[in-house]
Chain A
């Protein structure tokens, strides 16, 4: 099946620094990828839709200047958390839809546990 790889799996950073998270589709091309955030004991919340070759679409309440998304190629999307604060500590997960067809399923990356100290 399709594979999505996310890196790093775990990162600890200091307040005020920036962190980049990569999401790669390994055996298929993904013109669209999705970034989710999950706080403890809560569900996944969509943050933004990453579109190859164009600007990302952000969900309401998500600061686009803080969470920078770049979809540079058909297999890579990056999320950069800028000027991180402890409240940004969360589990970040990317996903990419399976190619083709009407009924699509999402393939998820392994997730990135971000801890801001």
Chain B
């Protein structure tokens, strides 16, 4: 079992829709969870971090964490074509990040 697993893609949504990205992790002691966005040929960039159970909202992005279920998700509201990218879920311990394989999102105009 992979340490961090993401729902298989690719995911395609129409512009303006909600995109839902899911992630599960196996290490129960993980405390920090991150969502990174990676455009093709570029480095990942952090878009959301979440450390405690519940929801965290930042603009059009909402991260949800459920430690009991070892589940973290990312919702993107009012999806835009510029949101088309690969989204990586990661947990971090002692600065070392463990990434999921990523979910490629395409937002169609």
- Contact count band on A: 20 to 34
- Within B55-109, the residues touching A (CB, 8 Å) are 88, 90, 92, 94-102
CB contacts (< 8 Å) of A103 on chain B: these are 31-32, 49, 51, 92
- Within B14-71, the residues touching A (CB, 8 Å) are 31-32, 34, 41-46, 49, 51
How many chain B residues touch A (CB < 8 A): the figure is 23
Chain A residue with minimal CB distance to B2?
A: A43
Q: Identify whether the interface residues of A are mostly helix, strand, loop, or mixed.
A: strand
- B99 to A44, Cβ gap below 8 A? yes
- A105 to B92, Cβ gap below 8 A? yes
Chain B residue with minimal CB distance to A49?
A: B96
- A110 to B43, Cβ gap below 8 A? yes
Contact bitstring A18-51, B, C-beta under 8 A = 1, else 0 = 0000000000000010100000001110100100
- B95 to A32, Cβ gap below 8 A? yes
Across chains A and B, the number of contacting residue pairs, with CB separation under 8 Å, is 62
- A108 to B45, Cβ gap below 8 A? yes
| A interface list, Cβ under 8 A from B | 6, 32, 34, 42-44, 46, 49, 91, 93, 95-97, 102-111, 113
Give 28 CB contacts A-B under 8 Å: A32-B94, A34-B96, A34-B97, A42-B101, A43-B88, A43-B99, A43-B100, A43-B101, A44-B88, A44-B99, A46-B98, A49-B96, A93-B44, A96-B95, A97-B92, A97-B94, A102-B32, A104-B32, A104-B92, A104-B95, A105-B32, A106-B34, A106-B46, A106-B97, A108-B43, A108-B44, A109-B43, A111-B41
A34-B95, A91-B41, A102-B32 given. 17 additional CB < 8 A pairs? A6-B43, A32-B95, A34-B96, A43-B99, A44-B88, A44-B97, A46-B98, A49-B96, A95-B97, A96-B95, A103-B31, A104-B92, A105-B32, A105-B34, A106-B92, A108-B44, A111-B43
